[in-house]
Amino acid sequence: MRNRAVVASIWIAALLAGVAAGGEITVNGTGLVWTEPDQATLDVGWTGIEPEVATAVARADEAVAAIREALGDLGIDPADVRTVHYAVWREDRWDDSGEPHPIGYRVHHSLQLVVHDVELVGSAIAAAVDAGANQIGGIAFAVTDRVAVETEARAAAFAAARQRAEQLAALAGVTLGTVTSLEELEPRPAYTMVAADMGGRGGAPVAAGRHAVEVVVRVTFATLD
């Protein structure tokens, strides 16, 4: 079960003078929900160079097949493993006169994994490396049920905006009326607080942390004298 902490922060978007003169109060409200990610994606791959292109391709195929098998043994669904990059090219070395000299053919094959249990991320990395992977990267954690988290943050944002508007109305000596305008604004970039080590099953020490989901709303209320 996710541990969530809701933090509502609010700021004013209209001066008290504008409240009295315009018959409206406009405020912004922010709802911030901290939640633990439940899914991760990462890239694992193999790259190597051989004198002959056929040998290089065969080595890459063998390495990637071993990586796939190791990930399957760990419980990762084959449908959650896909090729995201595959390339073959000739590598040259240039001499002092600028002339290229072939040194071999390089193959690069990169797989992207979707790991539905974040506690398996470290083990997945270790299994891939043990199977022959020599490139690891692109690790990203996510919340799959983001709609539910955003709904919670949105409710907190609106409550924060109403609370500030009620305070401003009281200070201005007016009564807060109905909502006349409501819009959702672009939030600040999401950020993560590192708080958990996912390497507890003998894998690489990868921290999932907690993610912040933020919703910002701007609300205008009518005022009554």
Any residues with CB less than 8 A from the CB of 99 and at least 6 apart, and which?
none
Return the DSSP state at 189: P
The whole-angstrom separation of Cα 35 and Cα 190 is: 12
State what percent of residues in the chain have pLDDT above 90.
67
53-73 vs 121-130: helix crossing angle, rounded to 10: 140
Task: Answer yes or no: do 107 and 148 share one domain.
Answer: no
The whole-angstrom separation of Cα 139 and Cα 208 is: 10
Is pLDDT of 113 > 80? Answer: yes
Task: Answer yes or no: do 129 and 153 share one domain.
Answer: no
Is pLDDT of 29 > 50? Answer: yes
Task: Answer yes or no: do 138 and 47 share one domain.
Answer: yes
Task: Answer yes or no: do 100 and 149 share one domain.
Answer: no
CB 141 within 8 A of CB 75: no
Q: Is the dihedral of CA 82, 84, 90, 93 positive or negative?
A: negative
Task: Answer yes or no: do 32 and 58 share one domain.
Answer: no
Residue-level pLDDT at 22: 57
Amino acid at 66: A
CA atoms within 13 A on the CB side of 60: 26
Residue-level pLDDT at 211: 83
Mean pLDDT, the chain, whole residue set: 85
CB 25 within 8 A of CB 176: yes
Give me 158's structure tokens. 């609106």
What CATH code is carried by the domain that includes residue 64? Answer: 3.30.70.2970
Task: Answer yes or no: do 159 and 205 share one domain.
Answer: yes
Domain boundary among 142, 166, 201: 142
State what percent of residues in the chain have pLDDT above 70.
82
pTM exceeds 0.75:
no
What CA–CA distances, in Å, run from 138 to 97, 113, 127, 211?
Answer: 39, 10, 17, 17
The whole-angstrom separation of Cα 158 and Cα 164 is: 10
Residue-level pLDDT at 191: 56
What CATH code is carried by the domain that includes residue 209? Answer: 3.30.110.170
Is pLDDT of 194 > 80? Answer: no
Task: Answer yes or no: do 149 and 196 share one domain.
Answer: yes
User: 33-71 pLDDT, tens per residue?
Assistant: 999 899 999 999 999 999 999 999 999 999 999 999 999
Q: Give SS3 for 2.
A: coil
Q: 207 falls in which pLDDT band (50, 70, 90)?
A: confident
Range of the domain at 219: 5-37+144-224
User: 214-225 pLDDT, tens per residue?
Assistant: 999 999 999 998
Task: Answer yes or no: do 149 and 138 share one domain.
Answer: no
Residue-level pLDDT at 146: 87
CB 128 within 8 A of CB 73: no
Task: Answer yes or no: do 72 and 121 share one domain.
Answer: yes
Q: Give SS3 for 173.
A: coil
Residue-level pLDDT at 193: 52
Task: Answer yes or no: do 122 and 169 share one domain.
Answer: no
Q: Give SS3 for 10.
A: strand
Domain boundary among 110, 142, 174: 142
Residue-level pLDDT at 200: 43
Mean pLDDT value across residues 112-140: 94
Domains in the chain: how many in total?
2
Mean pLDDT value across residues 184-202: 57
Domain boundary among 109, 142, 175: 142
